[in-house]
Amino acid sequence: MDYHAPESIHAAISLLVNAEGDARVLAGGTDVLVQLREEMIEPNHLIDIKNIAETRNISICAKEVRVGAAVTGAELGEHPKVKALWPGVVEAVGLIGSHQIQSRATMGGNLCNASPAADSVPALIAADGKVVIAGPNGERKISIEDFLIAPGKTALAIGEFVVALALPIPPTRTADAYLRFIPRTEMDIAVVSAGSAITLDEDGKCTHARLAVGAVAPTARLVKSASGILVDGLLDDDRLEQLAQATSAVCEPIDDKRGTVAFRTQVAGVLACRAVKLAWQRAMERDI
Amino acid sequence: MSKHFVSAIVNGDEVEFRCDSGETLLDVLRTKLYLTGTKNGCGTGDCGACTVLMNGRAINSCLVLGAECSDMSIETIEGMAVGGELHPLQQKFLDHAALQCGVCTPGILNMAKALLKENSNPSETEVRFGLAGNLCRCTGYDKIVRAVMDAAAEMRARRT
């Protein structure tokens, strides 16, 4: 195996395109190094993207927040502006692993590892995040939902890698939240998770809603019907009941040591309601 | 001949080493630099035994490649006591008998050092959460938490 540390997007693409044998992209390494050690992957080339400036920056413009693919969880958590704009996304990333893992792990890596239980993913989908991909044919940007194909499988083509994740600048009175169920208090893998982003108007009525659930299907899922249930309304028990049912309906979980199909399906509905309530409450607290 | 030639700072000293692409910082510390105070536990980032500081942040050295360490500043347990005087955390671990077999101790001391740098007055809950990535199979953690709290208090007192 050869380790490479290109210093430009162009150089990284060139390495990926011309690599003989299998090439893997390395960011924080908290998944890749474990997979290497356990011989789940045996790449011929390891392409470290941390020396590329575009992967290390957090930039905020009028339209979007761009978080470089090699920005660590700790660095994201210390960024007050991103936290203020998308608290749910930052909290979701902050739940990944220990302090030590946070010093290295990245949101881009969490996405590319494509675990059905990845903490950042439901929050990113709820926030309508996009993946910024660089490749031999230039840059392209796709939604998180389209990026994730199956466990461990993404829409990246040969020669491509994720440069950054882009989150929209949220409209006025928008907030998000992410919650997960784990049997411990910390350092565990989500049994079920839910992320939600809510926009309210001046009267506290919902104008835009997105909800996504994790660990209940091969990839995190957007609950498409959530928008129809919540938009144009206030938060009442009837709507929450509908939301819980709609959420459970999109679940196709597996039985494993962490939870049963029945448990995951039911808890997804419960967590979805709680995530919506929390995002709603945060949106209410925003200045109009 | 190993492929990568790396210069880094370890415990304040400039060091140079050669390593292969797949060798971790943990391998380098233990087998190239003979700093065997850093322990190899799980090798997969779960137990925290190999915790060292890299540019001031606590990391699992088993999850970092030696080749990634160019120009990085690494702090290991060997650099914790200065001029023969134990760091307050080390002294408090002795005072509270916060270790038994000692394999987790270097990692816990480094993690605690990083925590106290971020938060000089942590609550017990904050210490427990902060050390969640460090497993100890001997002590049951209570004495470790007490030692860290006590060291934090002493370090605050020394500063005033």
| A149-199 pLDDT per residue, tens | 999 999 999 999 999 999 999 999 999 999 999 998 888 999 999 999 999
Q: What is the pLDDT of residue B72?
A: 98
Q: What is the pLDDT of residue A186?
A: 83
How far is residue B153 from each of residues B68, B116, B121, B122, B147, measured CA to CA in Å?
Answer: 36, 10, 7, 10, 10
Residues B97 and B75 in one domain: no
Count of domains forming chain B = 2
Residues B103 and B66 in one domain: no
Q: Does pLDDT of B21 surpass 60?
A: yes
% of chain B residues with pLDDT over 70: 99
Q: What is the pLDDT of residue A287?
A: 80
Which residue among B24, B57, B129 sits closest to A103, beta carbon to beta carbon? Answer: B57
Q: Which residues contact A267 (CB under 8 A, 6 or more apart)?
A: A181, A191, A192, A259
Q: Which domains does chain A have, with CATH numbers?
A: 2-168 (3.30.465.10), 174-285 (3.30.390.50)
Residues B54 and B112 in one domain: no
* Domain limit, last residue, from B79, B110, B142: B79
B10 Cα to chain A: minimum distance (Å): 18
Q: What is the pLDDT of residue A288?
A: 65
Residues of A in contact with B68 (CB under 8 A): 5, 29, 48, 50
Q: Distance between CA A94 and CA B149 in Å, rounded? A: 24
Residues B13 and B60 in one domain: yes
B148 Cα to chain A: minimum distance (Å): 16
| B96-116 pLDDT per residue, tens | 999 999 999 999 999 999 999
CB contact under 8 A, B60 and A3: no
Q: Distance between CA A36 and CA A277 in Å, rounded? A: 41
CB contact under 8 A, B67 and A36: no
Give bridge partners of residue B16 from the DSSP assignment: B7
Q: Distance between CA A178 and CA A165 in Å, rounded? A: 17
Q: What is the pLDDT of residue B2?
A: 66
Give residue B68's domain range.
4-79
| CATH number of the domain within which B39 lies | 3.10.20.30
**Are the C-beta atoms of residues A191 and A157 closer than 8 Å to each other?**
no
Residues B93 and B27 in one domain: no
**Are the C-beta atoms of residues B59 and B53 closer than 8 Å to each other?**
yes
Q: Which phi and psi angles does B84 have, rounded to 5°?
A: 80, -5
Nearest by Cα to A71 from A101, A105, A39, A34: A105
ipTM over cut 0.95:
yes
Nearest by Cα to A98 from B139, B146, B44, B122: B44
Residues B10 and B67 in one domain: yes
CB contact under 8 A, B59 and A46: no
| B57 contact A CB<8A | yes
Residues B74 and B8 in one domain: yes
Residues B11 and B37 in one domain: yes
CB contact under 8 A, B115 and A99: yes
Residues B70 and B12 in one domain: yes
Structure token pair of residue A248: 């459970």
**Number of neighbours of residue A247 by Cβ within 10 angstroms:** 31
Task: Give the CA count within 13 Å in the CB-facing half-sphere of A31.
Answer: 18
Q: What is the pTM of this model?
A: 0.96
**Number of neighbours of residue B159 by Cβ within 10 angstroms:** 7
CB contact under 8 A, A103 and B58: yes
Report strand pairing: A45-48 vs A23-26.
parallel
Average pLDDT over residues B32-38: 98
Average pLDDT over residues A83-112: 98
* Domain limit, last residue, from B45, B79, B113: B79
Residues B65 and B96 in one domain: no
B92 Cα to chain A: minimum distance (Å): 22
Residues B72 and B93 in one domain: no
| CATH number of the domain within which B133 lies | 1.10.150.120
Residues of B in contact with A104 (CB under 8 A): 59-60, 63-64
**Are the C-beta atoms of residues A271 and A181 closer than 8 Å to each other?**
yes
Measured between CA atoms, the residue of chain A closest to residue B5 is A3
CB contact under 8 A, B133 and A101: yes
Q: Which phi and psi angles does A47 have, rounded to 5°?
A: -105, 105
CB contact under 8 A, A99 and B22: no
| A9-62 pLDDT per residue, tens | 999 999 999 999 999 999 999 999 999 999 999 999 999 999 999 999 999 999
CB contact under 8 A, A100 and B65: no
* Domain limit, last residue, from B61, B79, B97: B79
User: What amino acid occupies position A126?
Assistant: A
Q: Does pLDDT of B7 surpass 60?
A: yes
Residues of B in contact with A22 (CB under 8 A): none
Q: Distance between CA A184 and CA A176 in Å, rounded? A: 24
Nearest by Cα to A101 from A4, A34, A184: A34
Q: What is the pLDDT of residue B1?
A: 52
The residues of A whose Cβ lies within 8 A of any Cβ of B are: 1-3, 5, 26, 29-30, 33-34, 36-38, 46, 48, 50, 74, 97-101, 103-104, 185-187
Q: In a mutagenesis test of the B interface, which of A46, A100, A104 is the best target, namely the one with the most B β-carbons within 10 Å?
A: A100
Which residue among B4, B67, B111 sits closest to A99, beta carbon to beta carbon? Answer: B111
Residues B73 and B92 in one domain: no
CB contact under 8 A, A34 and B45: yes
